[in-house]
Structure 1
Amino acid sequence: MEITYLSDRIPTTEQVIELYTKSALPRPVGDSQRIQQMFENSNLVITAWDADTLVGVCRCITDWVWSCYLADLAVDPEYKKSGIGKKLIELTKEKVGEQCMILLLSVPTAMEYYPKIGFVKEDRGFTIYRSK
């Protein structure tokens, strides 16, 4: 299995929905227009491919000089524990550079994962939840 990582190929909305559904990432997979807009409005997307199959994605919003919000990290369950998630984050760090911090909101099932790959848990964040 040879995985190719790309930052210049945005997957189709259908590919994203399939990956998010497989990986059980809680995103609006029933609303393809919203998924499409999520990607159109992101300014850093790094993908992992096994030939033509999307097996991982890291979607971010960044200003490139201070902060990078890692909005989505998804890996196909068949490819978990193969280092794809870690590699996607490493490539994100390379793209945004040393002066830019990476921050995220974790899904409950990934709370143990992020500290293992270098993230520090923060207790000083705040959220205004969406109504839809």
Structure 2
Amino acid sequence: MDGAVVYAHEPDLDAESFQDLLVASGLAPRRPAASLERLGRMLAGSDLIVTARLDGRLVGVARTLTDFAFCAYLSDLAVTRDCQGRGIGRQLIAETRAAAGPEASLLLTAAPGIEGYYEAIGMPRVPHAFRTDRER
């Protein structure tokens, strides 16, 4: 893994690649990774997909829903386990923020136990957020 990580916008990322990344990152249990059809709908409904590739291999993704004018919800941030700790997640967030634009705030929901990562990279907690969990 000596090559440079290449970041790009990949609006046509396929469900199989996304599925493989979710598994390799450890995020699969928190996503509908067993359903390629549902992953495909998730990707198709995304406004912004930023990827990280190392020697052509997909090692990270940031999937965002945004209007590019006021708000952006970074729904999925995943980096393969073997590439974690290299700043890839931080750069995916930076690329997402840049693409969403200076008028859009960026919001995400951290997986339990991962909150410290976001605090360590300088993202403040939001004290007044609410959500309704999905039924399935």
Range into which the TM-score falls when normalised by the shorter chain: over 0.9
CA 1:9–1:128 in structure 2 vs 1: closer, same or farther (change >3 Å)?
closer
CA 1:101–1:120 in structure 2 vs 1: closer, same or farther (change >3 Å)?
same
Q: How far apart are the structure 1 equivalents of 2:103 and 2:13?
A: 28
Dislocated runs of 4+, deviation >6 Å: none
SS of residue in 1 equivalent to 2:17: helix
Partner of 2:38: 34
Identity %: 32
**Among candidates 116, 119, 122, match of residue 115 of structure 1:** 119
Aligned residues: 132
TM-score by length of 1: 0.95
CA displacement 1:60-85 (0-9 Å, x = unmatched): 00011110000000000100111100
Equivalent residue letter for 1:23: S
TM-score by length of 2: 0.92
Task: Give 1:12 deviation, angstroms.
Answer: 1.9
Equivalent residue letter for 2:94: E
Q: Any unmatched runs of 5+ in structure 2?
A: none
Q: How far apart are the structure 1 equivalents of 2:52 and 2:72?
A: 19
Q: Is the Cα contact below 8 Å between 1:9 and 1:47 reproduced in 2?
A: no
Q: How far apart are the structure 1 equivalents of 2:78 and 2:89?
A: 7
